[in-house]
């Protein structure tokens, strides 16, 4: 066997990875490396993969003083002493994580714990890093000795390129990544998300497992393929693969009863046994077929989630804290929705706002049916939640990302604003959320005398002539029209208000129009995807509520 076989139990190793072909890797261009990594060019040659890992990790920009192999040789005896490797306690920051053995032999299994302890000694700032044991265990398969593995892991941890995120090392970073993953699931895996909401009281608790699926539960052949691409493309790959895992879980288990009392345990079991249903190649194919937000937009979303957590008192020094997203039943009372229904709505909104509790700002039962009072109670709050119950017992609403005071920026004209995080939904008679795209029916706005002239945009599009610019300090990452199939920048608007009416536009052709007296309303609907309308085309409002978000 080759020089990188010291810690490998070849009886456990995938036979295809034992190839000793004399392939070499000479390319240095990112696009070519990216293509080769996705294709698995070095996946079937153990020695080549080890050399590629060494090359890629050596190119990571690091802090000036980064512990290397010589440091490990100097400290390992002092730290480990004469203790048995199996009895070495793990540092608190790994959070009782799985220490996967993959295809390691007995020496390799013991080496993982030794390296973790030495890293804890050299990186006192790490406060939470549950992925670390799996990363060390994986790299040991492709290392000549413990010291080399230690050095490679240190380079990953010491990366100082602000545009290159690799491994979360604080609870703040970890938890915000879980919230970001939840936001991505909400957009890209809606069927799976609906299942999570139905069977779990705290959806974030389920999504907090996402890194464990990759670095703990995935079999060796799969995690190595993921790591191949991760070292080339970075953190976004992890989101892609976790989303693909969730999609496959929902597809395979759809309609089947749960195998345990916990959806978390069911997903973990599915990922452990994924070879029964999905190959590594199919998993990556599915992952890269997802048209994910750009790296910059995901970074903005991550920043927004970190900011929300910091406002809740979570710091980089935090060891562990439960973050609950559920609506507190004892403090919630609505004339339109139950606690269960509000929790369902809460599962749809961006995770950073799901940390908050609902705060009733306006209700027609108390404040009357006045549009001016609607504005006066709603303005100054961002985001808000609009709930409507009709006299026919229909219940619908909208999540509105932007302060209603933005309507004034259009002067006397009915101008549109909002971001791509907005959406409309229906709760009764059936639950349905409509993805945001565009308002399709301009005739809705013609009832109001202050409607804009829409001569320039496409005939079937209602939008502002020149949408107001977004404040620079607003961390709302979904501003790019290209993600929502919009014809132009002027179409990327969602909500509008004047003294005459309110218009809220939803996806799939859904739009909601409310008269100034807040007694009447109507909807528009184009039969895209056979969706049902929000409610009756013309309806009488029984109760209308506006909810804000309280820290």
pLDDT, the chain, mean: 82
Tokens 């709050």 belong to: 381
pLDDT 10s digits, 85-115: 777 888 888 877 778 999 999 999 999 999 9
pLDDT 10s digits, 243-298: 999 999 999 877 777 777 789 999 999 999 999 999 999 999 999 999 888 888 88
Lowest mean pLDDT among 35-39, 198-202, 404-408: 198-202
Q: According to the model, what pLDDT value does residue 550 have?
A: 86
- CA-nearest of 79, 346, 325, 41 to 202 is 325
pLDDT 10s digits, 50-85: 999 999 999 999 988 999 999 999 999 999 888 887
Matching CATH number, 171-312, of 2.40.30.110, 1.10.472.80, 2.40.50.140, 1.20.1050.10: 1.10.472.80
Kindly tell me if the per-residue pLDDT of 37 is higher than 60: yes
Q: According to the model, what pLDDT value does residue 460 have?
A: 29
**Which long-range CB contacts under 8 A does 470-475 form with residues at least 24 apart?**
470/419, 475/300, 475/303, 475/304, 475/307
Please indicate whether residue 462 or residue 433 has the higher confidence score (pLDDT). 433
Q: According to the model, what pLDDT value does residue 449 have?
A: 35
b/e code 95-114 from CB counts within 10 Å (16+ = b): bebebbebbbbeebbbbbbb
Kindly tell me if the per-residue pLDDT of 455 is higher than 80: no
Q: According to the model, what pLDDT value does residue 329 have?
A: 73
Q: According to the model, what pLDDT value does residue 317 have?
A: 67
Q: According to the model, what pLDDT value does residue 352 have?
A: 86
Kindly tell me if the per-residue pLDDT of 452 is higher than 80: no
pTM of this structure: 0.76
Kindly tell me if the per-residue pLDDT of 471 is higher than 90: no
- Roughly how many angstroms between the first and final C-alpha of the chain, as a whole number? 59
What's the pLDDT band for 419 if we cut at 50, 70, 90? confident
What's the pLDDT band for 463 if we cut at 50, 70, 90? very low
Q: According to the model, what pLDDT value does residue 272 have?
A: 96
Backbone angles phi, psi at 545, to 5 degrees: -130, 145
In Å, how far from its chain's centre is CA 66? Answer: 31
CA distance 19 to 17: 6
């Amino acid at each position: 066997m080759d020089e990188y076989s010291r810690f490998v139990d070849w009886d456990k190793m995938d036979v295809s990875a034992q190839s000793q072909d004399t392939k070499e890797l000479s390319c240095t261009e990112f696009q070519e490396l990216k293509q080769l990594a996705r294709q698995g060019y070095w996946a079937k040659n153990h020695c080549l993969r080890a050399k590629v890992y060494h090359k890629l990790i050596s190119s990571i920009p690091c802090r000036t003083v980064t512990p290397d192999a010589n440091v490990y040789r100097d400290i390992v005896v002092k730290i480990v002493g004469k203790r048995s490797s199996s009895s070495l306690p793990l540092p608190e920051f790994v959070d009782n994580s799985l220490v996967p053995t993959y295809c390691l032999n007995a020496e390799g299994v013991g080496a993982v714990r030794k390296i973790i302890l030495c890293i804890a000694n050299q990186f006192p700032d790490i406060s939470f890093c549950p992925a670390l044991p799996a990363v060390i265990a994986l790299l040991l398969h492709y290392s000549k000795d413990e010291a080399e593995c230690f050095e490679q892991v240190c380079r990953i941890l010491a990366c100082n390129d602000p545009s290159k995120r690799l491994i979360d090392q604080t609870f703040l970073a970890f938890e915000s990544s879980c919230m970001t993953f939840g936001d991505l699931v909400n957009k890209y895996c809606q069927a799976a998300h609906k299942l999570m909401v139905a069977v779990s009281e705290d959806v974030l608790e389920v999504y907090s497992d996402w890194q464990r699926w990759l670095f703990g539960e995935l079999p060796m052949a799969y995690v190595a393929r993921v790591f191949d691409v991760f070292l080339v493309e970075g953190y976004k790959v992890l989101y892609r693969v976790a989303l693909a895992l969730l999609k496959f879980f929902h597809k395979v288990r759809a309609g089947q009863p749960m195998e345990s009392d916990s959806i978390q345990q069911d997903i973990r079991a599915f990922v452990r046994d994924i070879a029964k249903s999905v190959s590594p190649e199919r998993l990556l194919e599915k992952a890269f077929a997802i048209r994910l937000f750009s790296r910059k937009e995901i970074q903005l979303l991550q920043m927004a989630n970190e900011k929300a957590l910091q406002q809740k008192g979570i710091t980089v020094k935090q060891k562990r804290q439960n973050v609950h997203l559920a609506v507190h039943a004892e403090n919630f009372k609505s004339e339109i929705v139950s606690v269960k229904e509000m929790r369902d709505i809460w599962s749809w909104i961006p995770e950073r706002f799901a940390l908050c509790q609902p705060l009733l700002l306006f209700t027609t039962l108390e404040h009357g049916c006045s549009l001016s009072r609607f504005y006066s109670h709603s303005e100054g709050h961002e985001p808000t939640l609009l709930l409507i119950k009709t006299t026919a017992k229909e219940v619908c609403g909208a999540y509105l990302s932007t302060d209603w005071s933005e309507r004034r920026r259009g002067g006397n004209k009915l101008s549109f604003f909002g971001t791509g995080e907005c959406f409309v939904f229906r709760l009764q008679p059936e639950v349905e959320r409509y993805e945001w795209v565009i308002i399709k029916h301009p005739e809705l706005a013609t009832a109001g005398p202050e409607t804009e002239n829409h001569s320039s945009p496409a005939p079937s599009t209602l939008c502002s002539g020149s949408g107001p610019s977004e404040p620079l300090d607003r961390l709302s990452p979904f501003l790019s029209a290209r993600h929502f199939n919009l014809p132009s920048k002027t179409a990327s608007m969602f909500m509008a208000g004047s003294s005459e009416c309110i218009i809220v536009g939803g996806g799939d052709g859904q739009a909601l129009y409310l008269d100034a007296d807040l007694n009447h309303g109507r909807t528009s609907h184009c039969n895209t995807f056979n969706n049902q309308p929000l409610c009756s085309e013309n309806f009488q409002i029984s109760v209308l509520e506006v909810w804000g978000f309280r820290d």
